Structure 1
C-alpha cells in the first residue's frame, strides 16, 4: 500500500507540473502583441478649407467627411457568395472625401472627391462608375486652389440649391422654392 500511495503522489505531482507547463505555454502563445497607434487629424488643411466652401455652397444640406464606401454601398442581390465578396472587396477599404445629404429627405445628393496628384484618373473613373451604378453622382474637385465660386459652380450642376434651407431661428426646415 505504501508503494501505491507513493506512486499516486508522484503521478499527482507530475500531473500538476504538466498542467502548470501547459498553462504557461498557453498564456505565452495566446498573448497578443501590443498594438501601437497614434492619432492623426481627420482632415488635412486643404480638406478643412474645402469643407467650409462646400458647407457655404449647400447650406440646405448636411456634409459628412471621410465616409467609408461600405456605408454607402452593398453587393447587389442575386449574386453567389464569391461574387458578393468580390464586389465588397472593390469598395470595402475606400473612403469618400465628402458626402452631401439632403436635410429633408436624407438622400445622398452627391459624393465629392478632392483630387490631388496622388489620384489615378483610370482608377477614379472605375470608382465613379461603381458609385454611379448605385445611383450616386460624384463631383470631382481638381487639384489646385478653390474659392467659394468655383466650389459652388461645381456643386450647382449636381445639387439643386432650392430644395430646403434651415430656418433663420434654426428651429426646423423651411422649404424654399
Structure 2
C-alpha cells in the first residue's frame, strides 16, 4: 500500500501542475492579444473562380442591359401642359402621375386585388393647390382611348373623392374654360357626344 502511494502521489501532482500551467499559458496569450489556435480545425472559405467573379460583376455593367430613354410627354401633351400652367398660375400641374400615387385601396380583404387593378396606370395631369391638396385629374381623350376603361378609371377616382376632367386631345380650350372646369364651376365632362351613355 505504501508503495502504491509513492507512485500515485507524484503522478497526481504532476497532472494537476500540467493542467494549471496550460491555463496560465492560455490566459497570458489572451492578455497579450495573441489568438490561440482553434480547438477544432476550420474549413477554409471556397475561392471564387475568375469566371464566377466576372459573372457577378456583369450585373453592375451597363453594357449588360438594353434600355433607352423615352420622352415623358408627347408634343401635344407639352403644349397642353403649358396651357394649363398659364391658365392655373396658383396651382401645381404634375404630368404623368401614377394612379397608385393618387389613390390606394381601403382596408379590406380585396385590397391587394384592387391595388393590382390600378398598378401601372397613369393619369395625364394631376392638379394640386398651393397646399398640395388635389383639385382634380385631367385626361386628354384621343381615338385610342377605351371608353369602358376610361369610365372605370373615373369611377375609381371618384370613389376617393377625386374629379376627372376630360378634354379632347386636340382641343385648345381658353384659360377661362380651363379654370372653370378645374375649379368646379362647370361639369367635369362637357365634351360628351349626344349619344354618350352619360349624356342625360
| TM-score (norm. length: structure 2) | 0.60
- Secondary structure (helix, strand or coil) at the match of 1:113 reads strand
- Offset at residue 160 of structure 1 (A): 5.9
Larger radius of gyration: 2
- Offset at residue 39 of structure 1 (A): 1.0
Decide whether aligned partners of structure 1 residues 155 and 137 sit closer, same or farther in structure 2, where only a CA change above 3 A counts: farther
After superposition, give the CA deviation of every residue in 1:98-146 in whole Å (9 maximum; x if it has no partner). Answer: 111011x321001001111211111000000000101100011113231
1:70 and 2:100 equivalent? yes
Decide whether aligned partners of structure 1 residues 23 and 101 sit closer, same or farther in structure 2, where only a CA change above 3 A counts: same
Which runs of 5 or more residues in structure 2 are unaligned? 1-42, 186-200
1:54 and 2:78 equivalent? no
Which runs of 5 or more residues in structure 1 are unaligned? 1-14, 162-177
Residue 128 of structure 2 corresponds to 101
Residue 134 of structure 1 corresponds to 160
After superposition, give the CA deviation of every residue in 1:32-62 in whole Å (9 maximum; x if it has no partner). Answer: 5922111111111100100111112211111
| TM-score (norm. length: structure 1) | 0.67
Residue 122 of structure 1 corresponds to 148
Higher strand share: 1
Query: Pairwise CA RMSD of aligned residues?
Result: 2.7
Relative contact order, higher structure (CA 8 A, sep 6+):
1
After superposition, give the CA deviation of every residue in 1:73-99 in whole Å (9 maximum; x if it has no partner). Answer: 11102x12xx11111111121111111
